[in-house]
């Protein structure tokens, strides 16, 4: 058997005052999401053991991230340095940041 680490990212919008608050909204949400889980796949029950949680306050000014110009989904430009791997892959096309879904089909 092999161990596989599956990462899942969620976006939440909170008031700026919540960002550094001890046991504020962010900590409470994290506590809800970060625990062992079970799921049924076909007829098999799969046990998932919680390993870690982390949070990142997104800042398009200082980080490689932003909202897709077409659909508004948060994305990172994989063609630039320091992409945020927790976000959807995207690229700048004709001067606009686009997510993978909104990039032209022939874009690499």
The DSSP-derived string for 6-63 is ----------GGGTT-TT-HHHHHHHHHSS-EEEEETTEEEEE-----------TTTS
Asked whether residue 41 carries a pLDDT value surpassing 80, the answer given is yes
Number of domains in the chain: 2
**What single-letter DSSP state applies at residue 83?**
B
pLDDT band at residue 108 under the 50/70/90 scheme: confident
Q: Which residue segment(s) compose the domain that 93 sits in?
A: 58-108
Q: What is the pLDDT of residue 106?
A: 82
pLDDT band at residue 10 under the 50/70/90 scheme: very high
Q: Is residue 1 part of a domain?
A: no
Residues 64 and 107 in one domain: yes
Residues 92 and 51 in one domain: no
pTM: 0.81
Residues 66 and 103 in one domain: yes
Give 68-92 pLDDT, tens digit per residue: 999 999 999 999 999 999 999 999 9
Instruction: Single out the residue in 33, 55, 77 at which a domain terminates.
Output: 55
Residues in the chain: 108
With tokens 């001067």, the residue in question is 95
Q: Is residue 2 part of a domain?
A: no
Residues 64 and 103 in one domain: yes
**For residue 54, how far is the Cα from the chain centroid?**
11
Residues 42 and 62 in one domain: no
């Amino acid at each position: 058997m092999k161990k596989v680490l599956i990462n899942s990212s969620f976006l939440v919008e909170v008031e700026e005052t919540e960002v550094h608050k001890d046991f504020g909204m962010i900590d409470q949400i994290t506590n809800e999401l970060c625990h062992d889980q079970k799921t049924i796949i076909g007829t098999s029950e799969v046990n998932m053991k919680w390993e870690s949680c982390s949070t990142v306050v997104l800042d398009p000014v200082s980080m490689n991230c932003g909202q897709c110009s077409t659909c508004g989904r948060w994305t990172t430009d994989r063609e630039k340095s320091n992409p945020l791997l927790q976000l959807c892959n995207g690229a700048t096309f004709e001067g606009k940041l686009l997510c993978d879904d909104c990039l032209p089909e022939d874009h690499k």
